Structures are given as C-alpha cells and as structure tokens.
C-alpha cells in the first residue's frame, strides 16, 4: 500500500511543479552542488557492480528505508533512480525523517553518502502501548483465577478436616442419611433414622406441605424400600407390596409409556393440600433404576383389603357397611372437588377416572380415593383449568354421556365435576348390589355387564348410554327396603342424562349421612330393618 502511494505521488508531483523528491524546481536549479554524487546502497544488487555505492544526480538524492516485516527489520539504502521514485517520498522535507508508523520509516538526503550510517528509527510507542494493554488484560484474567484456586484449596482442606472429626463411617452415612432439622420450602425436614413413614409424615406435615414427605426425605425413603410381592397389574404398570423397616406400603410402578400419569400424580400430591382420610395417603415419588431398567415409583399407603372392586367380589355387606363405604368415598370426592382458598390452600380437583378399581378399602371399613393421574385442577383466582400433559381419557365403562357424544365443554370446570358424579353413581350401584336384604344379595357385576363386552369400545358405550339411554338395572328387591330404596333414588339422580341436573358431591355426602343417622334403623344379624 505504501509503495502504491509513493507511485501515485511521483506521478502527480511533476504536474504540480515539484521534483520527485518534493523539492521545487527553483531549489533544484539554484543548488551549487555537482550534478552527480554517490549514495550508500543496500542490498548489493542495487549497487554498481563490485561497489557499495551508487550514483545519483542532483535533484534526486539518496534514501534510506527501515521496514518491519514478518521476518524482522529490513533496511534498504540507495539512489533515487527513475525506476525507484516510488521509494523517495519525503513530503518536501529534505534531510529529514518521514515516519509512517511503527512498521516503516524513510530518510531522504542530498549529499554524498548521506545515507550511509544515518538510518531512520521506527516508532515504538504503539507497540509499547499494546504490550501494556496486553499485560493488563493478562493480569485481569490471572488474578481472579488465582484467587479462585486458593479459595477452592482452602475449602477442600476445611472439608477434609470436618470429615475427620465426624464419628460415623461412610457406610453408616450411606444407610442413615442424617438430615439436620431445617426449614426447606416451608417444610420441616427431619432426621430419617429408624422413624416409621407415619412418624415422618406427622413430623413434616404443615398446612402447606401437600400430602407427602419433603423432597429431601423422599429420596432416602425410596432407597430403603424392599419390594415383597406383586398385588396387582394394569395398563399403567403394576402395584407391589413393599416394606420400609417394619411397615407395609404400596409401590405403584408405572411403565415408561405412562410417564405422564406418574408426573401428574406426583405434581398434584406435592402441590395440593390432599391430606384427607378419604384420599389415598401418599408418601413419596421416585425415579429409580432396578435391573438396568428405569422405573417410576409412586409410594402410597398400603391397604390389605385392596380396591373396592376386589373387596365387593368377596364380601357381602349389611346396611351400615354399605352406607359407610359410600359415605367415606363421597367425603373423599367432596375434598377433591372443593377449592380451599388461602396462601396455603388447595385447587379444586376433578378426578376424571372414578371407578371401583380406583377406590381403596381400609381396614376400618372406610374408603379412600386413589389414582390421580388424569386429574384436572381449577382455581377461582385466575379461573385457570390445568389439564396436565396427559392425553388419556377415563375408563370407557364409566364415561358420562357428554364424554361419549363429545359435547363436554373443556373450558367449564363444573363439567368435569359432573362427570365424576355420574361415575360415582355407578360405583354406588356396585356397592348397593352387595347389600343383603331379607337374606338376598346380588352377585358382584360391573356396570352394564349385561349389555356390553368385558372390554367395551367407545362405540359400544356410546350406543348403550347415549343412543339407547340405558342405565344399570335397579333390582326389584330394593323397592321393599327403606334404605336401598332411598339409595336407588340417590343413584339415579347422579347418573341422569342432563349434567346440570346431577347432584353435587357435597349433596351426595349429606344425603348418605342422613341415612346413616336415622335413629329408628337397627342392624339385626344379616337383615336390615327399620
């Protein structure tokens, strides 16, 4: 670039009346010097053969150039010949140094050997500034790194010192993860040790703790569970009876394709205030690896009677037992459907899969509702309906007409609650069939057992429920029993075709409670008499 500039300069200077060296013609013509003199030359191929000089003429002069290249500093000297005029640019300043910067410097002079030992000097200011700047940048990076390394070393030795002072071995620490009492998200985390699950639940329970253990304790509990026997299988996976110390619990193991149900149930149990005797008790969730396979665990209370579906197949009921089962299940449904407003309240929840297989029977003869994998939540504050990420629908046999004919409005939360009430009416019908009256009892049968296959399709149920508007048959013997007759009226008000005409879960609970408290009713052996 520099050479191009000089070439342009030498071409344009004659037109301006200047000599190639930038000297005006008057100066050139008035000088007293001889017409020819010598200049030092370097490298030798610019010189007269076997000489270290070259001849120049008055008005052209000598030059000396120092240039910094990638190979080092290059020095060139010579005469201002015509073919080298592009090297002679002193901007009109004879016998002076013109410096382009730190990479090139030029000196021009006009007397014999004036360029022999008088080379120009390159500027070094920019280089020094860059070195200073680079050093500052280097220090800005190295100093924090050094401080960080020193801090890590100090922390490491302090930790080693504390470890040596702890009396427990590593093996004891692995088995007994001791969590010091502290506040964790508003939940008091307690020492695990030999405590039972119920003790841990009681100690960690606060008004905002959901229904399970704190997250830190959940992982510890899950690692300490032994699976004893498989007690049930379904499309979702399997249910096992497990042991934690000397306590039985139920472990629901989800298959990988049903991960959405596991996530939804875990989310609801850990964010909603679900601690209620009518809701299946929850301990913890865990994603664990057994036999090189990832398993999704949901750890719940264990009830040896199993589901209401299993219980009704092997047990007949008297009048009081029937009402207690229905009343406790209705109480659980009321708790789900009710929103508790407050800083540590609970959203309203619609179950969406009410059936006898999702209701458990406890040892005291009461029921609790489980399986919240399809649940939908709603809060009045923002009027938001949360359907979760599970695209599955409920059990076809228990589907309400509005689901089967696809007229349900998903933006209206009450519609989901009305679907639960329809299904609960079918469950009460299942329970009431097993109630003994006058020595008679019906065999257990699922709803619509006589009009659809054992695994009915969507179209099968739509034809029976929507098109034919059929409902399970009410046995004739119910009409002669006061309690069963009232139960039949209650059931029919739950499964009516018009969703808005159905009873609320609270109304169901209150009605059954009135039947339970009738003073004139007494249980005599296997017969209910009023």
Question: Active-site positions?
Answer: 353
Compute how many other C-beta atoms are within 10 angstroms of the C-beta atom of residue 70: 4
Q: How does DSSP classify residue 464? A: I
Check if the beta carbon of residue 502 is closer than 8 Å to that of residue 493: yes
Q: Which has the closest alpha carbon to 266: 375, 357, 114?
A: 375
Sign, CA torsion 275/279/281/282: negative
497: its two tokens: 């075709």
Quote the CA–CA distance of 397 and 88 in Å, as a whole number. Answer: 103
3-state secondary structure of 184: strand
Quote the CA–CA distance of 61 and 39 in Å, as a whole number. Answer: 8
Quote the CA–CA distance of 144 and 140 in Å, as a whole number. Answer: 7
Q: Which has the closest alpha carbon to 264: 352, 356, 413, 376?
A: 376
Q: Which has the closest alpha carbon to 84: 113, 63, 112, 58?
A: 63
Cis peptide before 43 (omega within 30 of 0): yes
233-240 LR contacts (CB < 8 Å, sep 24+): 234/357, 236/261, 236/373, 237/296
């Amino acid at each position: 670039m520099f050479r191009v500039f000089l070439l342009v300069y030498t071409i344009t200077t004659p037109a301006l009346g200047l000599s190639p060296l930038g000297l005006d013609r008057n100066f050139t013509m008035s000088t007293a010097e001889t017409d020819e003199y010598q200049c030092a030359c370097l490298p030798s191929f610019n010189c007269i053969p076997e000489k270290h000089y070259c001849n120049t003429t008055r008005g052209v002069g000598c030059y000396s150039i120092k240039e910094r290249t990638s190979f080092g500093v290059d020095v060139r000297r010579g005469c201002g010949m015509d073919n080298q005029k592009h090297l002679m640019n002193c901007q009109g300043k004879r016998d002076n140094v013109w410096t382009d910067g730190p990479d090139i410097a030029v000196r021009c002079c006009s007397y014999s050997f004036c360029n022999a030992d008088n080379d120009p000097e390159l500027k070094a200011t920019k280089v020094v500034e860059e070195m200073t700047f680079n050093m500052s940048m280097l220090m800005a990076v190295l100093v924090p790194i050094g401080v960080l390394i020193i801090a890590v070393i100090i922390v490491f030795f302090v930790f080693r010192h504390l470890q040596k002072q702890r009396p427990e071995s590593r093996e004891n620490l692995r088995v007994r993860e001791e969590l010091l009492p502290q506040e964790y998200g508003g939940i008091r985390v307690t020492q695990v040790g030999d405590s039972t699950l119920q003790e841990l639940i009681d100690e960690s329970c606060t008004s905002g703790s959901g229904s399970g253990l704190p997250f830190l304790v959940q992982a510890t509990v899950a690692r300490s569970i032994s699976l004893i026997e498989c007690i049930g299988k379904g499309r979702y996976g399997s249910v096992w009876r497990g042991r934690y110390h000397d306590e039985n619990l139920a472990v629901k193991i989800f298959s990988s394709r049903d991960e959405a149900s596991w996530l939804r149930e875990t989310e609801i149990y850990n964010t909603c205030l679900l601690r209620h005797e009518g809701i299946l008790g929850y301990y913890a969730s865990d994603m664990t690896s057994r036999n090189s396979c990832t398993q999704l665990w949901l750890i719940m209370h264990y009830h040896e009677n199993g589901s209401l579906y299993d219980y009704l197949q092997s047990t007949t009921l008297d009048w009081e037992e029937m009402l207690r089962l229905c009343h406790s299940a209705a109480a659980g449904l009321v708790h789900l459907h009710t929103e508790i407003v407050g800083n540590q309240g609970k959203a309203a929840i619609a179950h969406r899969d009410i059936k006898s297989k999702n209701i458990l029977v406890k040892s005291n003869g009461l029921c609790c509702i489980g399986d919240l994998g399809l649940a939908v939540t709603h809060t009045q504050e923002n009027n938001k309906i949360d359907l979760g990420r599970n695209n599955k629908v409920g059990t076809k046999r228990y589907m309400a007409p509005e689901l089967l004919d696809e007229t349900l409005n998903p933006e209206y939360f009450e519609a989901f609650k009305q679907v639960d009430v329809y299904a609960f009416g079918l469950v009460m019908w299942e329970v009431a069939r097993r109630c003994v009256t006058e020595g008679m009892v019906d065999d257990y049968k699922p709803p619509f057992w006589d009009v659809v296959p054992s695994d009915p399709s969507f179209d099968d149920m739509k034809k029976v429920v929507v098109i034919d508007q059929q409902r399970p048959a009410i046995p004739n013997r119910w009409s002669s029993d006061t309690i069963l007759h009232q139960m039949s009226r209650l059931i029919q008000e739950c499964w009516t075709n018009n969703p808005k005409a159905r009873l609320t879960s609270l109304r169901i609970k209150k009605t059954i409670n009135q039947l339970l408290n009738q003073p004139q009713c007494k249980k005599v052996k296997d017969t209910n008499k009023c």
